[in-house]
Amino acid sequence: MSMSDPEYNILIVDDIPQNIQVLGSILKKAGYAISYATSGKQALSLIESEAFDLVLLDVMMPQMDGFEVCRKIQALLNGQELPIVFLTAKTEKEDIVKGFEVGAVDYIAKPFNSAELLARVRTHLALKHSRVVIEEKNTELANKNEELKTANADLEKALREIKTLQGILPICSHCKKIRKDGAEPERMDSWVSLELYIYQNTEAALSHSICPECSAKYYDDLDDT
């Protein structure tokens, strides 16, 4: 999207129609989409119902001056990104400071230079676009982080589920008991049955059955019935 793309919608707020006409003509020639309001109340109503990329706001207006309009816009948007530029003949130092204090991003004095005005408009639109892209990337990164956390949790669960015995197991050649990890070979309580060892060191569930060899050895009488 270029800085003169018609998709950029600029709201002009000025109580003098001639000022709107002059400013609108300059911005339209540069390729911007234009909306306008002749009062603060009308501007707030438009911002509630339509998305804008930049507001050019006069300070000296009846009923509600530009400073108050700016405050109300900030409250209305509740942190949403919308750069506000004051465009006014009211250029005393304290007025400029006040303009920034109420939330404006720039202050352009009337009468303005068309080239300077367009340069500042392009700058603030570019900054807004960059911030939007950064927010989108941050949101995307946050989502990826959550996905990674979920994947790690699933992996840990899977590793627990596939836990197996590894390495060389010391097993008695006669009774087939297994010595516990790190236990002293001479101690009686260092040796446990194979069944108990598997139960304590894996998450495998054991069931009991009889192999054919044992069945024939211990229950051979069953084969005669």
Q: Where does the pLDDT of residue 88 fall: very low under 50, low under 70, confident under 90, or very high at 90 and above? A: confident
Do 16 and 97 belong to one domain?
yes
* Alpha carbon distance 118, 79 (integer Å): 26
Q: What is the pLDDT of residues 147-202, one digit of tens each?
A: 888 888 888 877 766 565 666 778 888 888 888 888 898 999 989 988 888 777 77
User: Which residues have CB under 8 Å from 11's CB, separation 6+?
Assistant: 35, 36, 37, 43, 46, 47, 52, 54, 55, 56
Which structure tokens are listed for 196? Answer: 């108990």
- Tell me the per-residue pLDDT of 110-134, one tens digit each, with 9 for 90 and over: 888 999 999 999 999 999 888 888 8
Range of the domain at 187: 165-218
CATH number (domain holding residue 36) = 3.40.50.2300
Question: Which tokens in the block code for residue 49?
Answer: 């119902």
Q: What is the pLDDT of residues 124-162, one digit of tens each?
A: 999 988 888 888 899 898 898 888 888 888 888 777 665
Task: Tell me, yes or no, whether 192 and 96 share the same domain.
Answer: no
pTM confidence score: 0.62
Q: Kindly state whether residues 128 and 192 are assigned to the same domain.
A: no
Q: Which two tokens stand for residue 71?
A: 């405050």
225 domain residue, yes or no = no
71 and 121 together in one domain: yes
pLDDT one-digit tens code per residue, 26-81: 999 999 999 999 999 999 999 999 999 999 999 999 989 999 999 999 999 887 88
Determine contact, residues 47/35, Cβ cutoff 8 Å: no
Nearest to 73 by CA among 90, 52, 97: 52
